[in-house]
Amino acid sequence: MSLPLFIEQILNGLQFGVMLFLMAAGLTLIFGVMGLINLAHGSLFMVGAFACAAVAAATGSFWLGLAASLAAAAMAGAVIEILVIRRLYERDHLDQVLATFALILIFSEGTRWVFGSFPLYLDIPPLLTGAASLPGGGQYPVYRLAVIAVGIAVALGLYVLIGRTRLGMRIRAGESDREMIGALGVDIGTLYTLVFALGAALAGLAGAMVGALQSVQVGMGEPVLILAFVVIVIGGIGSIKGALLGSILVGLTETLGRFLLPHLFALILPASEAAGMGAALASMLIYILMALILAFRPRGLFAAST
């Protein structure tokens, strides 16, 4: 195991974590502000990926596809918020889980109906192809570095948006007292739609960026959704800071676990068994991490003080 390989794995973990953050930020924002658990967030991820792949295939431009993915996911988010989600804010979590589960079925089958069951492929834009050299002599794809940069930029943007702007002030106010902010003359309905669309757009962005790294297919959002849940549970539901920290933690644990555990087991077991055992344990690692964190802090690392 050499240093460049190790650095490469850390970068992979960061890239994965950043992608999770884009999902988790939307989820945690929606939960924090509206108190809603949204399983359909993975579908918005999928919508973003499909929109990007379809538009990129039609126009030949990844950048148009990226813009389309943001627009399509935000639009899909706004539409389901107005049609369905809005009726769920006052309901209990069971109803929210079921209604958004129903939305997943509708989105997944609807997408399969339109695009068929075969996966689509999305090419990395020419500007970002190629590899950058790492210290120690390794090579790393520029595209993945760009994904990390976008994630960091979004995290900074969200920090400014929530902490420094008027809209962010309203979002925070909505989080702590929705009646009061309504009484002060803020249209809470529009605010909620806006927050939901923002979360959806972030999910769509994540979907489009990941679409170039793997195949674009129905159901691609679900594993990511569940990992994003793990992230926000670890970070504390409602906390953007928690989501960022949780994402990086989960991304690194997952990637390094898959990379290191088989090597570790190889020290004590025959190679064939070590690979199987390492892979099996690595797939459980983040859940074990979550269980450990929750055993000591049942409300996550940065629980909102509600």
Partner 1 sequence: MNRETLVNALLILGLLAAPFAADAMGEPFYVTLATRIAILALAATGLNIALGLGGLVSFGHAAFFGIGGYAAGILATHAFNAEPLLFGLPGTNQMVSIWLAAVAAAGMAALLIGLISLRTSGVYFIMITLAFAQMIYYFAISWPAYGGEDGLSIYVRNAFPGTNTMRPMSFFLIAAGLLLAGLAFFALLRNSRFGAALQAGRQNEIRLAAVGIAPFRIRLVAFVLSAMMTGVAGALFADLNRFVSPSMLSWHMSGELIVLIILGGVGRLAGPLAGAIVYVLFEFALGGVTEHWQLFLGLVLLCVVLFARGGVVGLLAGRARHG
Q: Which residues of the shown chain bind partner 1 in the complex (CB under 8 A)? A: 31, 37, 84, 87, 93-95, 97-99, 101-106, 108-110, 112-113, 222, 226, 229-230, 232-233, 237, 276, 279-280, 282-284, 287-288, 290-291, 294-295, 298-300
The CB-of-58 to partner 1 minimum distance in angstroms stands at 24
The CB-of-289 to partner 1 minimum distance in angstroms stands at 10
Give CA–CA dist 193/17, Å, rounded: 27
The CB-of-79 to partner 1 minimum distance in angstroms stands at 14
Pick 267 or 295: Cβ nearer partner 1:
295
Give CA–CA dist 80/259, Å, rounded: 40
Pick 30 or 56: Cβ nearer partner 1:
30
The CB-of-117 to partner 1 minimum distance in angstroms stands at 9
DSSP secondary structure letters along 96-155: HHHHHHHHHHHHHHHHHHHH-SSPB--PPPGGG-SEEEPTTS-EEEHHHHHHHHHHHHHH
Tell me how crowded residue 153 is: count the other CB atoms within 10 A of its CB. 11
The CB-of-92 to partner 1 minimum distance in angstroms stands at 8
DSSP secondary structure letters along 231-254: HHHHH-TT-HHHHHHHHHHHHHHH
Helix (H) / strand (E) element for 270: namely none
Pick 149 or 226: Cβ nearer partner 1:
226
Pick 161 or 279: Cβ nearer partner 1:
279
* Contact by Cβ (8 Å): 40, 104: yes
- Enumerate residues 6+ apart whose C-beta is below 8 A from 161: 167, 168
The CB-of-78 to partner 1 minimum distance in angstroms stands at 17
Helix (H) / strand (E) element for 289: namely helix 271-296
The CB-of-287 to partner 1 minimum distance in angstroms stands at 4
Give CA–CA dist 245/155, Å, rounded: 11
The CB-of-272 to partner 1 minimum distance in angstroms stands at 9
Burial class (CB within 10 angstroms; exposed 0-12, middle 13-18, buried 19+) of 90: exposed
Buried b (16+ CB within 10 A) or exposed e, 170-199: bbebbbeebeebeeeebebeebbbbbbbbb
Pick 211 or 235: Cβ nearer partner 1:
235
Which residue is associated with the tokens 């009726």? Answer: 87
